[in-house]
Amino acid sequence: MYQVFLFVHLAGVIAWVGGALSVAMLTTRLASRPDTSTLPAGLRDIRFIGATILGTGALLTMIGGFGLMAVLRLSPTLWIGYGLLGIVLSFGLGGTMVRRTSDRVLAAPDDRAAKQRLVAWNFAMVALLLSVVAAMVFKPTL
């Protein structure tokens, strides 16, 4: 069972982090275009990717992680807690700041500051997820 849970966990991480990076790059590209006519459709597609790929990736990461904890009989540690916190923060950041800023951009496609904030929030998500990956690799303890 170890290999199954490890595969689920790693596949989830790949989807979660890769999806976040893809969303950030697509958002940057879309927000930098002078022609805003494609912005609404593009943002709706990006939101779909964010909700499906990132959400599914986070869920698979968590399921695989809990499975690994059970198989390896691991007790909760600082790095495991940080990983769970990362999942919660990821959903919170995506569901609040990214969504609200995306709504603002959809309402006012010419608002340059809102587009810059949207790009910044998406890269903040990438930074958060990379910090979770670092915690999983280096396994810090108190």
Length of the chain in terms of residues written: 142
Single out the residue of 29, 51, 54 nearest to residue 42, CA to CA: 29
Distance between CA 11 and CA 3 in Å, rounded?
Answer: 12
pLDDT of residue 140: 87
**Residues 6 or more apart whose Cβ sits within 8 Å of residue 71:** 1, 2, 5
* Dihedral angle computed from the Cα positions of residues 98, 90, 121 and 54, in that order, rounded to the nearest 10 degrees: -70
Q: What is the value of pTM for the model shown?
A: 0.91
Supply the range of the domain harboring residue 29: 2-138
pLDDT in tens, 48-94: 999 899 999 999 999 999 999 999 999 989 999 999 999 999 999 99
Report helix, strand or coil for 34: coil
Domain count, the chain: 1
CATH of the domain at 93: 1.20.120
